[in-house]
Amino acid sequence: MINKLIFFFLLFSITEASAKIKERIIQNLEATNNLTFNFEQNINGKTENGHCAISYPQKIFCKYNLKNGKILVSNGESIVIKTNSSYYLYPLKRTPLDLILNKNFLINKIKSLDERILNEKFVNFKFFERDFEVNIFFDYRNLNLIGWQTKDIYQNLSITFLASVKRNQKLNNNLFILPQQN
Instruction: Tell me the fold of 2-176.
Output: outer membrane lipoprotein receptor (LolB), chain A (2.50.20)
d(CA 105, CA 35): 17
Dihedral-angle region of residue 69 (phi above 0 means left; psi in -120 to 50 means alpha; beta otherwise): left
Query: Domain locations in the chain?
Result: 2-176
Residue 19 pLDDT class (50, 70, 90 cuts): low
CA 151 to chain centre: 13
pLDDT, tens digit, for every residue of 29-57?
999 999 999 999 999 889 999 999 999 99
Helix (H, G, I), strand (E, B) or coil at 171: coil
pTM: 0.85
pLDDT, tens digit, for every residue of 112-165?
999 999 999 999 999 999 989 999 999 999 999 999 999 876 788 999 999 999
At residue 1, the pLDDT reads 45
* CB proximity list for 179: less than 8 A, separation 6 or greater: 71, 73, 80, 82, 87
Name residue 41's beta-bridge partners: 48, 160
